[in-house]
Structure 1
Amino acid sequence: MKILDIKKSITYLTFSAISIFTGLHAQDIDSLLRLSEHYRTVNPDSAVSFARQALAKVDAVNQPDIAARVYFSLGYAYYNRNDFELALEHFNRSLTLAEQSDNFQLKALLHNRIGNVYQLKSYYNQAIDEYKKALDYNYKIGSKVEIARTLVNIGTVFSITGNFSIALQYMLDALEIFEQSGETEGMAWTSLSISRLFSRLEINERALQYAENALNHYRRLSNQTGITLAQTELANIYYHTGMHDKALDLLGKVIEENSRTRNIHAQAANYMLMGIIYFDKKQYVQSGHYLNLSLSLKQQVNDSIDMAKLNRYMGELELQRGNFAKGITLLNKALNDAQKQKITTDLRDIYFSLSEAERRKGNYQKAYDYFASYSALKDSVNASQIAKLEMQYDFEKREKEQELISRQRDAMQQARLERQRMATLLISIALVLSLALAAVIFRFYREKKRTNQILIQQNTEILRQKNEIENQKQEIEAQRDLAERQRDQIAEQQKQITDSIKYASRIQAAVLPRNQQISTLLRDHFVLYQPKNIVSGDFFWVTHLTDGRVAIAAADCTGHGVPGAFMSMLGITLLKELTATQHFENAADILFRLRRLVIASLNPAETDNDSHDGMDMGLLIVDRKTMEAHYAGAYFPLLLIRDSSLQAPPAYSNPILADGNTLYEIRGDKMPIGHHIIEERMFTNHAFTIFESDLFYLVSDGYSDQFGGPKNSKFMMVNLKKLLLDIHHLPLNTQQSILQEKFDEFKGNEKQVDDILIMGFRV
């Protein structure tokens, strides 16, 4: 028995010693992990060192949950040190151990971090899969803050891959959760992500707003890493808005901080942006210096992000230096990177650069092939504009919905309080009346029983009528309040819609040529431009062609207001694209090519011609050196006032003579820039000699179609011609004032029926 007791004692002591030993190691591991977590951002190398020391003690503990934490901490340290392969390896080891437990919080963190690594390595589908797994676990946990963090991660990947509206929804949902939770760091991080999204679509006003919000949040937190990220985004916005010096100044501060923290990925991105800015400033030596610094750092950490763009600019730089072979090699390398990552905008720009390079070398077939590839992707410009408008619309719609929900919530709270107040009042009144009635009944009960019975009945009837009146009053007040709220909501919504359209008019005005620009191209001119509904379906356009000639165009798009404005934006975009990249002999060739592009843009997948969308346009091309002109029109006339003693232009009609001058009308073809019965028919090109005294007018039908006057009839084109002939000898700015006054006087109190555009000019 004594021997048996001794063995039991030894066994008990042994297990006790093991438990104490294991507990001590667990405490050491916990301390080391806390140290690693502390040094993650300030000194990643120290964080890795402490996590490795913790890993060396894991086998002695033999607890999977502790081992999972250690591998996660070491992976996180590698992640902050930009060793992404090692980070991914240790995250996956931690996940394998975590799967053996019900620790949903650790699983969610691991899937989020693995998604971060895949995102940085440009494996976007895998990143989305990991983030969605993390989101599922966070919903199970019920952690609103972690749900919001994961929503931002998903939105960021959708933004990178071009799904902007979806990305914005995820990020705004996340920002709402952070604001409700009072999570300042989350608000900062999400605001920064939303800023980057708006910046990608060149909605710079919104991008600047959210970047500054993020910077303010990070400053309140004294988070230097976040401050640096926000300043980096602000520098990018300054670059895109043309404030190059301001961007360079801020980048200098950002690079100094990223160098201090050894954030090589961020340094590489900063140097690349500096190189691009100097390239745009045509300071090619500085540009090459910073682009090479960026390339060196990216190669050092195997960073593939934006390699297509970096190689493209380095290739463009070599082409500027005359090194065509090296430049084309770098452009082909950029093309390979862009094809792997499926970045449409980079692909488009690289194809165009390769086309120009091969053309300059004389390899016209290759140049044509690359230009064909570029043309196939050019619609991405329109798609980007549409995505921009869609996202702006979604953003404004969400803001309005949030505002309406807030108003409804306030109204419901106010109504609930009012009901409580009324209920309390009614209960008090009923109580007082009941007590008074009881006193009266008690007082007179013995003396006048019969009389009291009558009084009780009368009081009951009074209470019933009073309640009915109160109910009717409440119903009337509720109906009145509802009508007033609906009236106010309708007025507010109408104001918001009008404000949005006014904002669109500023965008439209920005793409139209400015008065100073036109003055450099034409000897004298005026433009009478009066939209019917804030934005216009009419537009005008003046530019230098690639061969030095001047092109002047005016157009009347299908519809007016917002639909017409969208069509005018399409017309201006396509005209700029055509004339900036191609050479045309005459005006008819440009209209024919423009018609094909408009049809393709409006109905790329349709084969019928039922659509009536399009535009009427007049296009005049002038060569001042040879004093020759070419005109072509699509349902659009050119009016020319010329000294009657000079040679008349060809193919004119309906001339009007007055005081030794003649107004000639050169008519356009009776087919639009859009679908037509015979779409392959060429427009007629009118070539003629011009003289110094010639005065030209391009006129849409809005002025002549206006109703007014004593008989409420149309103004008519013939009256407009006579008016122009009467005032043609006056200065052009005076002509514009007279045309405006005559129009206002004729229109009177009638509504304007269409957009108005009259261009008068001398070349």
Structure 2
Amino acid sequence: MRKFLIYILTLFGILSAAMPAESQDLDSLWDVFNTVKDDTSKIILLNEEIGLYYESVNPDSAILMYDLAADIADKHIYNPGKVSKKHLFYFQFYKFTALRYAGMLYANFSEHTMAQKYFNNALSMTKMMYESGSTEKEKRILKGGLAACYVNIGITYYYTGVYEAAVSNYLKSLKLYEELISTCTNKSNRSKYKYGISTCYTNLGNIYQEQMSTEKALDYHFKSLEIKKEIEDKRGEGICLNNIGNTFLSKFNYKKAEEYYKKALDLAIKTNDTKSQSISYSNLGIVEKRLGNYDGAIEFYTTALKIKLELDDKNGITNVYSNIASLYISKADSIAKTESEKNMYISHALQYAEKALIIAREIKALPYVNEAYKNLMLVNKLRKNFKMAYLYADDYIVTKDSLFSDEKTVALNEMGAKYEAEKKQLKIDRLNNENKIKQVQIDKNKEEAQKQQLVINAIVIGLSVFLVFLLLVILLFMQKKKANKLLNFQKHEIQQKNDDLQQANHEILAQKEEIEVQRDLVVEQKDRIEEQKNLITTGIELAKNIQQSLLPHDEQAQNIFGNHFIIFKPKDIVSGDFYWGTKIDDLLIVTVADCTGHGVPGAFMSMMGISFLNEIVSKKKIFSAGEILDDLRASVISALKQKGFTGEQKDGMDMSLCVINTSNGNMQFAGAYNPCIIMKKSGEMIDLLPDKQPVAIYDRMKPFTNTECTLEKGDRIYLFSDGYVDQFGGPKGKKFRIAGLKELLIQTANLPIEHQKAKIQENLDQWMNGFEKNYDQIDDITVLGLVV
């Protein structure tokens, strides 16, 4: 050890003589390297000076320097006969350091596969050294190295989306750091171990945040922040503040998120930490975007991107690209005033989303790949390229399932709970071991007392009987008193340890009782939830009966529609679709509508639509198809109090409506997104197209088009919601599409109307359940066909 210190002091002396205090350029460093003779100094120089210098100017060369340091160390490691055991340990530790530094450099540039390779090699070497009979001091050094390696490996798993492996490594590291700090009195080393514990807390907080365990995440982040302040790690404080902001952001507490992001930014500016500045700018951009301030958001994103490009921070670059893509998607979907403006925003979003995907794939960062797929899915949906949108949606779901699942969340929580339980058990085991040591000492004292007695007996044999007896009595009394005093003291210590064990057992029993109380509470809450569910289901069944009473029943439908069929399949108990019809003199008025959503919300909207239609036709006597939809839209806007705010256009109806004069065959049609198909008796198909606007408030509202045509006896009219054509199924799991429905209507046009209905229903069942995979119904389905 003394010789090792001499090496270091000699090297530092050479460096001080060869390099100016403020300008240790590369030539000077290589001059020193070529001057020193011993390999120890060369390795330290490569690891701590030359490699560090190259990291800032040429990272590839820095890795070569660390590899060179490892190679020089190998010359001594694999020639053990030529080096002492003590020096062999230090050469192995130098190699471990070189491997870790290279791995950290790869990780900084997001090359996580190479980083893991170096970290695992360093970990294997350290484990081998730890198990090969090192001294206690060496084992303490190696334990710190193991803890650092586990953190490094955990971080690479985090950035590649393998969260369970990341948590496992973080907990291993945390356990080692806690063991080290529990026996450490050196102030400098305690600060290092606290830094390691803080790093573990930060990384665990990030993973629990990703898993949406926000309270647990906040607990870890605030613990980490407290340690960072204690050890005066300003950069670490900034990281913690950003992480706390991220967690509040995921809780939709934008005010708190912005508060912590600004604190982090102020600290980063004060410490001239450009990387942390870029993170804070990007985070503030997310807050501005969530609040609808798109101009402020793009300003923050642009500032963050400029810094990340200068730093070549690939993780950061792909993150900002994804954020900018998401922003342009929101602008295209909500604030674009013209089609050209919308297309411009879509083009920008596509450009940034594709850039993000390229880099995310390059660095194998699964969370960023998942975010890029999501943005590309949304962009292609806006472009109406539904095929690409579906493909990206599939990729998004697959990668998201790889990152997040209930099973993974449970596994991560179990890992944390297991760690805490092991921690308590170690404390109990340590107390038991201390008691065993005390008992061994008692037995040893008894044995020594017996030996002393034999010595005394041997000494007094030659003395007179009286003196022997007197001295023997005195000595025996004194020894017994001393032994009793010692035994009483040791008995007291054993009793104290037993009390500690009993206290620990009481705590465990108390925790067990608390767990049982929590379990009973969960069971009680489950029963309440089931009761609430039954009440809700009963209410929905009642709503179904009300809704059914508003729809034309079989006899009434026959009187209104004549020769017809109706396919009505709600997705839930009640439906967001409805069909309606009435006859007034020679006019037959019929409609099929698809209200916003399905289930209870859609059912309420459908009942409101039926009520308004009855009022418009029966009371107001409006018989023009276009005017009926205009008046219905006005009623919906008034009833829903729509003012034109973003998102309100999603509450309304898509529908097709026909007004048929049964005396002369004249038909009027008006549609809101939903078309009407006419099959002429001659076999010709006529497709009446709807207006591209809903029966609700809309940013470009215009009067509904009133289309007229002439029908002949025997012609068939088909009205339908989008549930049938949007249903997934078939051999490839795709939508049936309107083209498929048209083909089906052509094939069955000559069948009696009731047989045609059976074929359409049979086709739907076959599409959903007739192939390798069965598909659930995704929306309410309504198809109405009638013969003129």
**TM-score for the superposition, normalised by structure 1:** 0.53
Aligned to 2:363: 341
Structure 1 pair 58/411, CA: closer, same or farther in 2 (3 Å)?
A: closer
Percentage of identical aligned residues: 16
Check conservation: 1:267, 1:294, Cα contact below 8 A: yes
**In the TM superposition, what is the alpha-carbon distance from 1:424 to its structure 2 partner?**
6.9
1:275 Cα deviation from its structure 2 partner: 1.6
Deviations 1:600-629 (A, max 9, x none): xxxxxxxxxxxxxxxxxx965543343179
**For 1:58 and 1:263, how far apart are their aligned partners in 2?**
31
1:406 Cα offset (Å): 1.2
Aligned residue for 1:168, secondary structure, equals helix
Q: Residue 606 of structure 2 aligns to a residue in which SS?
A: coil
Distance across 2 between alignment mates of 1:499 and 1:160: 39
Do the aligned residues in 1 keep the contact of 2:235 with 2:273 (CA within 8 Å)? no
1:94 aligns with 2:69: yes
Q: Does 1:224 align with 2:234?
A: yes
Cα distance change of structure 1 residues 498 and 151 upon mapping to structure 2, 3 Å threshold: same
Q: Tell me how far apart the structure 1 counterparts of residues 277 and 779 of structure 2 sit (CA, whole Å).
A: 56
For 2:112, which of 121, 124, 136 is the aligned residue? 124
The alpha carbon displacement at 1:115 in A equals 0.6
Equivalence for 2:604: 624
The separation in 2 between residues aligned to 1:201 and 1:341, in whole angstroms, is: 23
In the alignment, which residue of structure 2 is the partner of 1:388? Answer: 409
- Alpha carbons 2:374, 2:392 under 8 Å: kept: yes
- Contact 1:204-1:237 at 8 Å conserved across structures: yes
Q: Give the alignment partner of residue 204 of structure 2, picking from 173, 197, 205.
A: 197
In 2 relative to 1, CA 187–386 (structure 1 residues): closer, same or farther, beyond 3 Å? farther
Give the AA of the match of 1:131: F
Per the TM alignment, residue 116 of structure 1 is displaced from its structure 2 partner at its CA by 0.3
Structure 1 residue 157 corresponds to structure 2 residue 145: no
SS at match of 1:626: helix
State the distance in 1 between where 2:74 and 2:534 align.
Answer: 65
Partner residue, 1:31: 16
After superposition, what is the alpha-carbon deviation per residue over 1:670-690, rounded to whole angstroms, capped at 9, x for unaligned?
Answer: xxxxx9xx99598899999xx
Equivalent residue for 2:571? 587
Report if aligned partners of 2:102, 2:118 keep a CA contact under 8 Å in 1: yes
Letter in 2 for 1:184: S
Is 1:113 the equivalent of 2:101? yes
**Aligned AA (2:239):** L
Match of 2:194 in 1: 187
Deviation at 1:553, TM superposition (A): 13
Aligned to 2:395: 373
Counterpart residue identity of residue 570, structure 2: N
Q: Which amino acid aligns with 1:494?
A: K
Aligned counterpart in structure 1 of residue 222 of structure 2, from 212, 215, 222: 212
Q: Output the CA distance in 1 between the equivalents of 2:292 and 2:412.
A: 34
Q: Compute the displacement of 1:493 (Å).
A: 6.0
Indicate yes or no: 2:378 matched with 1:356. Answer: yes
| Kept after mapping to 1: 8 A contact 2:309/2:317 | no
Q: Which amino acid aligns with 2:65?
A: H
CA distance in 1, matches of 2:574, 2:65: 61
Q: For residue 606 of structure 2, what is the amino acid of its counterpart?
A: T
- Assess, with a 3 A threshold, how the Cα gap between structure 1 residues 394 and 244 changes in structure 2: closer, same or farther: same
CA distance in 2, matches of 1:413, 1:337: 56
Q: Is the CA contact (8 Å cut-off) linking 2:288 and 2:297 kept in structure 1?
A: yes
- 5 Å-filtered alignment, 1:410-429, equals 410-414=431-435, 417=438
Post-superposition Cα deviations, 1:532-574, rounded to whole Å, max 9, x if no partner, equal: 5xx977885999xxxxxx99999xxxxxxxxxxxxxxxxxxxx
Q: Would the aligned equivalents of 1:279 and 1:287 in 2 still touch at CA under 8 Å?
A: yes
Counterparts of 2:191 and 2:504, CA distance in 1: 36
TM-score, normalisation: structure 2: 0.52
Q: 1:73 to 1:412 in 2, by over 3 A?
A: closer
Report the counterpart of residue 409 of structure 1 in structure 2. 430
Unmatched tracts of structure 1, length 5 or more: 1-21, 37-45, 447-476, 509-528, 544-549, 555-583, 592-617, 631-674, 689-763
Is contact 2:119–2:152 with CA below 8 Å preserved after alignment? yes
Once residues 58 and 261 of structure 2 are traced to their aligned partners in structure 1, the CA distance between those partners, rounded to angstroms, is 24
> CA–CA distance in 2 between the matches of 1:250 and 1:429?
71
Amino acid at match of 1:399: E
- Contact 2:46 / 2:65 at 8 angstroms: preserved in 1? yes
**What amino acid does structure 2 have at the position aligned with 1:350?**
A
Deviation string, structure 1 residues 383-404 (Cα, Å, up to 9, x no partner): 2x32222111111122112212
Q: How does 1:279-298 map to 2 (within 5 A)?
A: 279-298=289-308
Provide the secondary structure at the position in 2 that maps to 1:222. coil
Q: Is the 8 A contact 2:174 2:200 kept in 1?
A: no
The one-letter code sitting in structure 1 at the alignment partner of 2:236 is G
Contact 2:66 2:98 in 1 (8 A): yes
Which residue is equivalent to 1:698?
A: none
Quick one: distance in 1 between partners of 2:535 and 2:400?
Answer: 22
SS at match of 2:348: helix
SS of the equivalent of 1:362 reads: coil
> Equivalents in 2 of 1:57, 1:117: separation in Å?
24
- Could you tell me whether the CA contact under 8 Å between 1:355 and 1:366 is conserved in 2? yes
What CA deviation, in whole Å up to 9, does each residue of 1:147-201 have, x standing for no partner? 2222221222223223333323322232232233223322323332332233233
Between the aligned partners of 2:571 and 2:8, the Cα distance in structure 1 is: 88
RMSD of aligned residue pairs (Cα, Å): 5.2
Structure 1 residues 707-726: aligned runs within 5 Å? none
CA distance in structure 2 between the aligned counterparts of 1:354 and 1:343, rounded to whole angstroms: 17
Paired residue secondary structure (1:57): helix
- 1:133 to partner: Cα distance: 2.2
Partner of 2:243: 233
Within 5 Å, give how 1:589-628 maps onto structure 2.
620=600, 622-627=602-607
Q: How many residues align?
A: 489
| Aligned counterpart for 2:509 among listed residues 491, 498, 504 | 491
Question: Contact conserved, 2:157 with 2:165, CA < 8 A, in 1?
Answer: yes
Tell me which of 254, 264, 280 is aligned to 1:244. 254
Cα 1:65–1:240 change in 2 (3 A) is: same
Deviations 1:572-617 (A, max 9, x none): xxxxxxxxxxxx98324999xxxxxxxxxxxxxxxxxxxxxxxxxx
Quote the residue 1:330 is aligned against: 352
Deviation per CA, 1:478-527: give whole Å up to 9, x if none.
Answer: xx99998998587356336437758x95xx9xxxxxxxxxxxxxxxxxxx
* CA 1:227–1:353: 2 relative to 1, 3 Å: closer
Distance 1:355 1:553, change over 3 A: farther
Query: Which residue identity is paired with 1:149?
Result: A
Asked whether 1:77 is paired with 2:62, we answer no
Task: Sort the Cα spacing of 1:388 and 1:680 in 2 relative to 1 into closer, same or farther, 3 A.
Answer: closer
- In structure 2, the CA distance between the partners of 1:416 and 1:82, relative to structure 1 (3 Å rule), is same
Distance 1:159 1:373, change over 3 A: closer
Aligned positions of 1:259-658 closer than 5 A: 259=269, 261-319=271-329, 320=331, 322=342, 323-380=345-402, 382-383=404-405, 385-414=406-435, 417=438, 491-492=509-510, 494-495=512-513, 497-498=515-516, 501=519, 530-532=525-527, 540=533, 586-588=570-572, 620=600, 622-627=602-607
| Residues 63 and 102 in structure 2, CA contact (< 8 A), matched pair in contact too | yes
The 3-state SS of whatever aligns with 2:258 is: helix
Partner of 1:238, secondary structure, is helix
- With over 3 angstroms needed to count, the CA separation of the structure-2 counterparts of 1:530 and 1:232, relative to structure 1, is closer
Equivalent residue, structure 2, for 1:707: none
Letter in 2 for 1:151: Y
User: Quick check: which has more Rg, 1 or 2?
Assistant: 2
Q: Which runs of 5+ in 2 are unaligned?
A: 1-6, 78-90, 130-137, 182-189, 333-341, 470-494, 544-567, 576-597, 611-768, 783-788
2:268 match: 258
Question: Hey, what's the Cα distance between the residues in 2 that align with 1:172 and 1:679?
Answer: 41
Matched residue SS, 2:315: coil
